[in-house]
């Protein structure tokens, strides 16, 4: 049988590496799977990085090398492979990961940090000038274009909002828009801000046909979609805001995905599959930056550790117990739960059974598994299965559990 890891992290970007540091430092047996030959995800493709707190100036690859070294210090195991499938073993606690190489890996928890890639249009010159005048992130790169002239491709909320943001740095912004004059895909508020900004102008009914330059971008060829006419537009950079594509194809039909294919997560970064967490740009979130991905990874790692502790304690104390067990689903801040506890302890002692308490806020997975909707709820387990149950009982009803 394959060894069972405490956690398998899928993806070696900022979110996955941050999770690796927290998991391994917490003494969890941790494996990080990375499909790319270079660890670091999108950040590793960023030539200059100036907005990660505490790092005054660095390159993306250099920062990600430090992330990886931090993981290695605490014993994270690295393996290069691509994940093709995710499922659970019988009972749901052990997760099964299938890889492109044909290997099957097992883990008690999984953290998915596979990231998202900027949508690439395939314009001539786009690939060649990426990071040399072609950018996909205003927050990352705006400062490098101070007092310069740029072109923005796109007209949705992101394109318009980022264009407004860019005007704080650049000399001018020309937005290349597919639609007729005055028509943008952004919401009304964003449109009004763009139209009112003196630094923003628009080239309507058009698309970028080619990005030009020598070592760096120095212009674009713009095609009018109605006339077919090609016009040369000088610029120092091109910002592409036509969406991103999350790397979640292997998850379809397995966990709940949001619009666009991003992973839906809660405040603990947990997905719809208990014990599976998301971190970084692959998640449905407001801001996709290195610092937010790192934060996601830390949250996911701590949540994964708590999940494993709860599940293992539950199995040992209840499911695998030789004798009957009395389980109280309660909350230490619920008055009725507090009032019932002395009677519960007395009944358990009189009957010679172990009393196990489950805080329904901290252990929502376990409470949900047994459809606990009210507290306190008391259940007598026998041979790992519920034998008798009382929802919001009075003290004089507890004897009936036996």
Is it the case that residue 117 has pLDDT exceeding 90?
Answer: no
- Pick the catalytic residue: 140, 212, 235, 283? 140
Q: The pTM is what? A: 0.83
pLDDT mean over 248-263? 94
Task: Band the pLDDT of 243: cuts 50, 70, 90.
Answer: confident
Model confidence pLDDT, tens digit, residues 264-304: 999 999 999 999 999 999 999 988 899 999 999 999 999 99
pLDDT of residue 1: 52
pLDDT of residue 262: 97
- Is 351 within 8 Å of 360 (Cβ atoms)? no
Active site residue 198: no
Active site residue 207: no
pLDDT of residue 139: 80
Model confidence pLDDT, tens digit, residues 188-234: 998 999 999 999 999 999 999 999 999 999 999 999 999 999 999 99
pLDDT mean over 119-140? 92
Active site residue 137: yes
- Pick the catalytic residue: 6, 23, 71, 141? 141
Q: Name the residue among 371, 299, 375 with its Cα closest to residue 336.
A: 375
Task: Band the pLDDT of 47: cuts 50, 70, 90.
Answer: low
Is it the case that residue 153 has pLDDT exceeding 80?
Answer: yes
Angle at which helices 157-166 and 188-195 cross, to 10°: 30
In the chain, what are the domains?
A: 4-117+244-314 (3.50.50.60), 134-240 (3.50.50.60), 321-401 (3.40.30.10)
């Amino acid at each position: 049988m394959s060894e069972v890891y405490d956690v398998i992290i899928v993806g070696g970007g900022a979110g996955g590496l941050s999770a690796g540091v927290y998991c391994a430092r917490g003494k969890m047996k941790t494996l990080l799977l990375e499909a790319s030959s270079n660890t670091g995800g999108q950040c590793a493709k960023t030539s200059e990085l100036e907005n990660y707190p505490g790092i005054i100036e660095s390159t993306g690859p250099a920062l990600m090398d430090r992330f990886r070294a931090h993981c290695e210090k605490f014993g994270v195991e690295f393996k290069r492979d691509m994940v093709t499938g995710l499922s659970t073993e019988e009972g749901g606690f052990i997760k099964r990961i299938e890889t492109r190489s044909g290997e099957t890996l097992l883990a008690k928890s999984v953290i998915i940090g596979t990231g998202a890639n900027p949508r690439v249009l395939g314009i001539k010159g786009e690939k060649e000038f990426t990071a040399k005048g072609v950018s996909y992130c205003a927050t990352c790169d705006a400062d490098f274009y101070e007092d310069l002239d740029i072109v923005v491709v796109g007209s949705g909320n992101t394109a318009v909002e980022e264009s407004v943001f860019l005007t704080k740095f650049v000399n001018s912004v020309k937005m290349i828009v597919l639609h007729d004059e005055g028509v943008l895909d952004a919401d009304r508020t964003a449109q009004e801000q763009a139209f009112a900004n003196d630094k923003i102008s628009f080239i309507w009914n058009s698309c970028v046909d080619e990005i030009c330059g020598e070592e760096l971008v120095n212009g674009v060829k713009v095609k009018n979609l109605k006339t077919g006419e090609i016009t040369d537009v000088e610029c120092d950079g091109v910002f592409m805001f036509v969406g991103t594509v999350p790397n979640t194809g292997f998850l379809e039909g397995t966990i709940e995905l949001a619009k666009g294919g991003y992973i839906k997560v809660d405040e603990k970064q947990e997905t719809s599959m208990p014990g599976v967490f998301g971190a970084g740009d692959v998640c449905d979130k407001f801001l996709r930056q290195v610092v937010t991905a790192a934060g996601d990874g830390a949250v996911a790692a701590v949540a994964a550790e708590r999940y494993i502790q709860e599940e293992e304690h539950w199995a040992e104390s209840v499911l695998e117990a030789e004798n009957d067990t009395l389980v109280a689903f309660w909350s230490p801040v619920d008055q009725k739960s507090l009032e019932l506890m002395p009677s519960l302890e007395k009944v358990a002692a009189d009957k010679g059974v172990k009393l196990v308490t489950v805080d329904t806020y901290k252990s929502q997975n376990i409470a949900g598994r047994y459809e606990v909707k009210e507290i306190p709820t008391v259940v007598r387990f026998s041979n790992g299965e519920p034998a008798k149950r009382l929802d919001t009982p009075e003290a004089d009803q507890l004897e009936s559990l036996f």
